[in-house]
Amino acid sequence: MDEHGSPGSSTLGYVLVLVGVVAFVLSCFLPYSRLLDQRSISYYRLATMSQGGTLRYVGGLLFLFGGTATVAWVALAGLRHGRHERRRTPSILLAVSVVWSLSWIGILVSVSGGFGYEVGYWSMLVSIGVVIVGTVVVWLSGRHAAHDPESAPSEREALRRQQTFPDPTELHPSAGTIFPGV
């Protein structure tokens, strides 16, 4: 990775974030814990198996995947722009990822206790860690690019700087004088 931050390093960070998000979603469907009767259950089943009907089911889906979708959306926006990403995208990703990861770490730690944990629990924690690492890579590469005087401006900024207004005398020979022919 380039020490001055490069488009490649931020791309790697965004890809890491997306890999972590996909791993998190998949881990929601893996065996999460063993209940008292020694049956394995996924976190998806724990979050959506209430007896409250459709609204509670939708609430469980939003609980599981609402923040995850937001993190993925910001990472995809950063990837889509590539070299010409907006300067605020790394900061937005940092904010969204901090809220999402701290919430999930808090949830996973607070429910630790009397149950035996299986692969789903541990893969959720690892995938959150991957999102955190990817976010740090994006944020650091964005900071380096913002503070690097040699970092090239985006094409739009470069074109805007190149725009000059034409000299009126070049448009028409008599445009530069008040009295033509004098």
CATH of the domain at 20: 1.20.140
- CA-based angle 71:73:76, to the nearest 5? 110
Residue 176 lies inside a defined structural domain of this protein: no
Residue 68 lies inside a defined structural domain of this protein: yes
User: What is the reported pLDDT for 128?
Assistant: 96
Residue 83 lies inside a defined structural domain of this protein: yes
Residue 166 lies inside a defined structural domain of this protein: no
Is it the case that residue 131 has pLDDT exceeding 50? Answer: yes
- The stretch 20-25 carries a mean pLDDT of 97
User: What is the reported pLDDT for 158?
Assistant: 53
Residue 90 lies inside a defined structural domain of this protein: yes
User: What is the reported pLDDT for 28?
Assistant: 92
Residue 158 lies inside a defined structural domain of this protein: no
Query: Which residues fall within 8 angstroms of residue 100, CB to CB, at 6 or more apart?
Result: 67, 68, 70, 71, 131
Q: pLDDT-based confidence at 89, cuts 50/70/90?
A: confident
Provide the domain limits for residue 23: 7-152
**Domain count of the chain?**
1
Q: Is the pTM of this model over 0.75?
A: no
Residue 23 near residue 132, CB atoms below 8 Å: no
Residue 148 lies inside a defined structural domain of this protein: yes
Is it the case that residue 156 has pLDDT exceeding 50? Answer: yes
